[in-house]
Amino acid sequence: MAKRILVAGSSNIDFLLSTPYIPAPGETIISNGSYAFAPGGKGANAAVACASLGAEVVFCSRVGDDAYGDRLVALFNERGIDTRYIKVDRVEQTGLAVVMLEKNGTNRIIVYSGANKKINDSDVESAFSCYPDAVLTQFEIKPDAVIAAALCAAEDGIPLFVDAGPATPDFPLEKLEKIEVLSPNETETEILTGIRPNTLENCLRASIALCNRVDTKYVVLKLGARGCYIYDGKYCDLVSPFEVPVVDTTAAGDIFTAALTTEYLKNGDILAAARFANAAGALATTKTGAISSVPTIEEINKLLLGE
């Protein structure tokens, strides 16, 4: 039976712009690529990915009373996501993310929160009436909403998965209740701990620092092309990456965490879930866009089998 995952997070429209490189201050360059508007947002990316990978998904979010909001809600319904807890804000616009994509596949992202900044603790508390088996949230919404998700999950005794991005130095990690998996990427790890996880020693130091700040069963550091690093308070593992041709890294981390969550809920095996997530994240980089880059279970299994 499919697990029901409550995703509490952001919904955006992504403005994707291809550029040979990021211009310097005062510099104007001409893009030799294309641009597009596509669905995105860390919460939306995770919700769609979880649904695509077999979970029953309930999404708690906010959109504006505009065409972009209508487009997003229609997409979620098409993907079989429960949208009862998505509110339409009559004042704020739908969130917007400007994604500048360089030739080598790396990106720079600027987010306008819009309606997402109105997601609050009451929204999250109400969504728990869906009786989820697990909760997945991110930091693209207000800290109060994230803390509410943690408190409700702890009260209900269900596992909480936290994608720690985008991170800020002052995020109150200490206020989060027990977490099943805390997963920042390299940049977010450095912001939260002051330690760049560029070596195995630093991965361990950063993981210990995170465990000292918050009660988490596992820390899973997303290391991009180096795979991921798992720490449970006693033992650590480096899970190898999959080599693929990189086109666009947008949403790869969101899809990684969604895949980790859905696979872990099936059997509780964090190593197997991390390998599955590495494959999902790698495949996400082979396509342009956020939600459009979510791989299928069949694609992930083929990569896992080396086909």
Where in the sequence numbering do the catalytic residues fall? 254
Instruction: Give the contacts of 266 (CB within 8 A, at least 6 positions apart).
Output: 3
User: Which residue is associated with the tokens 């039976």?
Assistant: 1
- Tokens read off for 287: 């396509």
- What is the DSSP-derived secondary structure letter of residue 32? S
Amino acid at site 67: A
CA–CA gap between residue 240 and residue 182 (Å, rounded): 19
Question: CA 146, CA 129: separation in Å to the nearest integer?
Answer: 17
Residue type, 184: P
Handedness of CA 142, 146, 147, 152 (dihedral sign): positive
